[in-house]
Structure 1
Amino acid sequence: MPTPDPTSHPERPDLDERRAYVPRGRQEEFIVPLLRSAIESAIRDAAATMAGRSDGRALDVGCGGQPFRRLVESVGYAYTGIDTQAQPGLALDHHGAIDGDLPAGLLDAAVRSPRGGFDLVLCTEVLEHVLDWSRAWTNLSRLLAPGGRLIITCPHVYPLHEEPYDFWRPTMHALRAFAARAGLEIIEERALGDAFDVLGTVNASTTPDPAQSGPVAWAASRAARRGRKLLHTLLRSRWVRRQLVPRSAAARGGVGDLYLSNFIVLTRAGRAAAAHGDVP
């Protein structure tokens, strides 16, 4: 079977995208709660900058199952979604890729909006699946209103998924560089998940099967599986995590040089920035 050419943006395989941002397996029990907490907090912070306005507009790029739609609408934004494919039972406002030609209707909506773009743009766990980063960042900047908020998350250490559309595991340095090229300014940035979260994710993604037949390999596999289960329990324990810190994190004064995901909030300066109350 030939490998799809990602550069041509063919129809992707059907995916059961999450409609609620909760873990769907042990592999996700470390990264998903961290992402949900950071994203939801950033959405509420963005809404607070609207200074009581009721005409805020939000764009969810790569919206999938639209897990944040309810929160976005509850804090006062009108929600718009764009993705390469629609999910069953969910309306999709615009069909397209963020690193391709943007739908004319989406560009018109941005231009005609009160502040010349969307006040809030979400691009969460999407950019690792986007091949042309230069074009994607340019489009994100075009769609964002001056003074608006762009929330981006992108994994740094995580197993391959949605292949062959899985291209990048960037560092925060890469996000800063592309943001600067796109004329965006950083409001907040942080790494999500420390080395223990990485260890827990790798452990949950690994099943130690016997390498050969025979009682020795079987016993080794059984012992390793028990150890795997115990390690998962320990790393998920809040009490245990309060007692320990990765050495690299202690040395660097943060999560360290091994972490799960990048989280960054950006804005675009411009004439309308003062209306949002967050950019001088």
Structure 2
Amino acid sequence: MSGKTKPFFTNSFSSVFFNPLHLIRSKLYTEIQDLAPRLKGKLIDLGCGTKPYQHLFTNCSEYLGLDIEESGNKDSKSLVDIYYDGRTFPFDNNSVDCFFSSETFEHIFNLDEILAEINRTLKPGGYLLASCPFFFPEHEVPYDFARYSSFGLQSLLEKHGFEITEYRKTGSFLSAMIQMTALYIYYFINRIPLVKHLLFILLITPLLLLALLIDAVFPDRIKRHDLYLNNIILAKKL
């Protein structure tokens, strides 16, 4: 399996010098990289976009991107293998070994229906690996419909016949606030093309480094995890 990861979707330390979403992307990449080897066989990437994590799923014999025609991520259409109508997947019952979906659930208005479809098409014991933001600005508008807490996401999955085998959060209260501050500053300096890279290094890179330091050395009682960046969940069909 081959795949080239775009620089904004890696855990490379160098991206603190050019990626305003470094904390989000690097932590998300690390968690997906850790959990991806558990998925095997035929994998469906729901809301696949540019398939930035495909190369991590080395135990999967088949990797197919599934998306709807109308979405907020129009530039990624060339990497979609299969389109569906937004309600029903074009797969038989119990025919898919595993599903992966990263940063897609917030763009699905009818998530209850889609989780039921994932359960219908998964083989018994098949896995769903998914991530979605908890603390992040509206994006890909107008196709940004929801944010899910840890409790809400786990309840939805259990309602649709899944057992949670792994649940993780990325970031902490402090690092999440710093990440959003860095992103806010980036919105303004990105409008100054001649000096935006210099301003990035002077204003944003120190913030990102501070957040990394906080998450690395501060105890949990100070960092707190009731505000965080992303949910990552691995669930098994019962």
Alignment TM class, shorter chain as reference: 0.7 to 0.9
Q: Which residue of 2 aligns with 1:4?
A: none
1:259 to 217, 228, 235: 228
- Counterpart mapping for 1:1-16 below 5 A: none
2:155 to 163, 174, 177: 177
- Counterpart mapping for 1:69-218 below 5 A: 69-72=54-57, 74-85=58-69, 90-96=78-84, 99-102=86-89, 106-108=90-92, 111=93, 116-207=94-185
Structure 2: distance between partners of 1:146 and 1:188: 18
Any idea what SS the aligned residue of 2:91 has? helix
Any idea what SS the aligned residue of 1:27 has? coil
- Please tell me whether the aligned partners of residues 195 and 258 of structure 1 are also in contact (alpha carbons under 8 angstroms): yes
Structure 2: distance between partners of 1:227 and 1:79: 40
Displacement, 1:122? 0.3
Q: Structure 1 unaligned runs (5+)? A: 1-17, 48-55, 210-224, 250-254, 270-280
2:208 to 219, 232, 254: 232
Q: Mark the CA change 1:231 to 1:75 in structure 2 (over 3 Å): closer, same or farther.
A: same
Amino acid at match of 2:39: A
Displacement, 1:246? 5.5
Q: Structure 2 unaligned runs (5+)? A: 189-200
Displacement, 1:100? 1.6
Aligned pairs, number: 211
- Please tell me whether the aligned partners of residues 203 and 232 of structure 1 are also in contact (alpha carbons under 8 angstroms): no
Displacement, 1:143? 2.1
Any idea what SS the aligned residue of 2:98 has? strand
Q: Mark the CA change 1:87 to 1:77 in structure 2 (over 3 Å): closer, same or farther.
A: farther
- Higher Cα Rg, which structure: 1
Q: Mark the CA change 1:226 to 1:181 in structure 2 (over 3 Å): closer, same or farther.
A: same
1:232-263 alpha-carbon deviations (Å, 9 max, x no partner): 33224x4x5433235454xxxxx521110111
1:33 to 26, 29, 36: 26
Structure 2: distance between partners of 1:230 and 1:267: 40
Displacement, 1:196? 2.7
Displacement, 1:117? 2.4
Any idea what SS the aligned residue of 2:39 has? helix
Displacement, 1:139? 1.2
Any idea what SS the aligned residue of 2:185 has? coil
1:243 to 193, 201, 217: 217
Identity %: 25
